[in-house]
Structure formats: structure tokens, C-alpha cells
Chain A
């Protein structure tokens, strides 16, 4: 079974530039998550999708971050414009639909460096 795919793996940009990350979840997983993991910290949930609908985006900085999952499969996370403090690893995860006990399966992440 293929895992969660993410691209790119690494990205370096200057502040005020824009960047986009892509995620392809495990086949059949209706729930998709984007996390931000700052160096030395645990992952923090940014947004959660159920199919193509947003379940929770309470911690997404909506003035600069946006995410979509138009067809209920792949998802993109965008930052525009980037700030220095956005430097982090962005993790995508997927799981079976909103099961309380369900495991989340994580992709390898995209490491973003903002200069």
C-alpha cells in the first residue's frame, strides 16, 4: 500500500514570496490533515478536511495561509506571503473518515526555509 506522498521535500524561499505544497493521501482515506512542525516542537494542526470540506481550520493563519482539496483527494497548502517564522516542516496526514480511534498516517513532510 502506498503511503502519503508530499512534494516538494525541500523548499527555500525569501520572505514575502509565495509557496505551495502538495499532498496525495492514502487511497480511500477521506480525512486529510495539514500540520506545521517547527523545529523542536510537536506538530500543530493547521487544517483538517473531510472529503473536500473543511472540518477544522481554527489554527490556520488565514491572512496568509490557504488550503484546498477540490476533488476530495489531493490537497495543496499555500503560503502568501511567507514570513521568517513560517520556516518549519509541513506534514500531511490522512486517515479513514473521522474515526475517533483511527490512526493518522503521515507523509515525509516538506521542509520550508524562509530567508
Chain B
């Protein structure tokens, strides 16, 4: 069975500072990894994904994520946080050999303060 862990319920960061939202995963095969963001009263929006290739993946709104196979992690990062980045962030994984079933983590609330 595949699973995702987001160890922090909330991350607080000051505007302009770098941010990291952590994610670790477990799959039996090759992992396909995703980050989604959820703003209040809106559906999830795709940020970025890792399928294969370069371990550093760049996505929307200046976000990036680093795939680390030995640590089974896929942490989300941004060099300089904006207040508008405040939202709920979800990491998701699926086994590359299975159907397109995504397993989501519990989410991390990012709070960026001015």
C-alpha cells in the first residue's frame, strides 16, 4: 500500500524568507509525486510533479520540490515566501505501475506573515 506523511500541520514563515513544506512517501514501485495547493472554498490546484529525471522540479508560482530517493522525501520549497502563498498544501503519491490512484497526505497549512 502507498502512503504519504506530512509531518507538520502548520508552517509559519515571514514574508521574504525561504519556506519548506515537508513530505515523505512510501510506495512499492517507482513513485510519481505531486504537490497541490488549496485556497479557501476552492478546489485543489496542481503545483508540480516528479515523474522521472532531474531531482529538482520547478512548478507554478515560483515553487520547486526536491525528490530524494534515499530519504523517500519530496519537500516543497520556495526561496522567498509571499503572503499570498498562505494556503493548505497537499503532497500526493501514486505507484507508477498502478492505475492513476493518488494517495494524499493530511495537508500542511502554510501561514506567511507580513
Roughly how many angstroms separate A45 CA and B34 CA in the complex, as a whole number? 15
Chain A contacts for B46, CB-based, 8 A: 103-105
Roughly how many angstroms separate A99 CA and B99 CA in the complex, as a whole number? 8
Report the stretch among B12-20, B36-44, B66-74, B75-83 that lies at the interface.
B36-44
Whether A95 and B90, one on each chain, are in contact in the complex, defined by CB atoms closer than 8 angstroms, is no
Q: A31-B100, A95-B100, A108-B41 are in contact. Are A101 and B32 (CB under 8 A)?
A: yes
Whether A42 and B107, one on each chain, are in contact in the complex, defined by CB atoms closer than 8 angstroms, is yes
Chain A, interface size: which category? Answer: 20 to 34
Chain A contacts for B90, CB-based, 8 A: 42-43
Contact of B104 among A44, A101, A102 (CB under 8 A): A44
Whether A42 and B105, one on each chain, are in contact in the complex, defined by CB atoms closer than 8 angstroms, is yes
B-facing mask of A71-108, CB < 8 A → 1, else 0? 00000000000000000000101010011111111111
A14 interface residue (CB < 8 Å to B): no
Whether B101 and A106, one on each chain, are in contact in the complex, defined by CB atoms closer than 8 angstroms, is no
Tell me the count of chain B residues lying within 8 A, CB to CB, of chain A. 25
Name the residue of chain A whose CB is nearest to the CB of B47.
A103
B49 interface residue (CB < 8 Å to A): yes
| B97–chain A nearest beta-carbon distance, Å | 8
B55 interface residue (CB < 8 Å to A): no
Roughly how many angstroms separate A108 CA and B104 CA in the complex, as a whole number? 17
Whether B104 and A43, one on each chain, are in contact in the complex, defined by CB atoms closer than 8 angstroms, is yes
B22 interface residue (CB < 8 Å to A): no
On B, residues with C-beta under 8 Å from A are 4, 32, 34, 36, 41-46, 49, 51, 90, 92, 94, 96, 99-107
26 contacts between A and B (CB under 8 A): A41-B106, A42-B90, A42-B105, A42-B106, A43-B90, A45-B101, A45-B103, A55-B99, A91-B43, A93-B43, A93-B44, A98-B99, A99-B100, A100-B32, A100-B51, A100-B94, A101-B51, A102-B100, A103-B46, A104-B46, A104-B100, A106-B36, A106-B43, A106-B45, A108-B41, A109-B43
